[in-house]
Amino acid sequence: MTALDHIEEGYVYHDGESKRLYTTGDAKSAEAALLQQCINWSFGPLSIHACLDTSVPSVSIEVKLLGYTIGSCTLSPTKQDCSIGGSLDGFKAEVKLGLKTNPLALVINGTLCAPIVGCKSFSVTIPFGLLEDA
């Protein structure tokens, strides 16, 4: 018996809720869980965590300011953009996120304002790597 016997194989848990990562015996859903690609990008106290689900494709995004989540969204070919903004302890941030589909890339445009320093704008396009069979 191990200390984590209560965690069932193939599930994730968050705030007491469980979710199956993939359907047992379904190679496509297991491969999608295995091949999920995530990126982390930051600009000062602003950080963005984005994960590509290759089976859809869709990108789940979480935006944090000073370590606190200020928003999240999911992008797909049918919903290719979203905006997230917030302020905390004198810092303000707004980001516009977009999904480029050919090739797959996350487009980030935003502004970050900090006390004393003022506001700075930024823009970056982060491609998701192409997967090949070995």
Residues of the chain with pLDDT > 90, as a percent, come to 54
Higher pLDDT, 105 or 19: 105
Higher per-residue confidence, 42 vs 133: 42
Give residues with Cβ within 8 angstroms of 77, minimum separation 6. Answer: 57, 99, 101
Scanning 5-83, the segments in alpha helix (DSSP H) are: 27-34
> 55 and 95: one domain?
yes
> Are 11 and 43 in the same domain?
no
pTM exceeding the 0.75 threshold for the entire prediction: no
Mean pLDDT of the chain: 83
Q: What is the DSSP letter of 7?
A: S
Full domain range(s) for residue 17: 1-34
Domains identified in the chain, total number: 2
The reply to whether 132 falls in a domain is: no
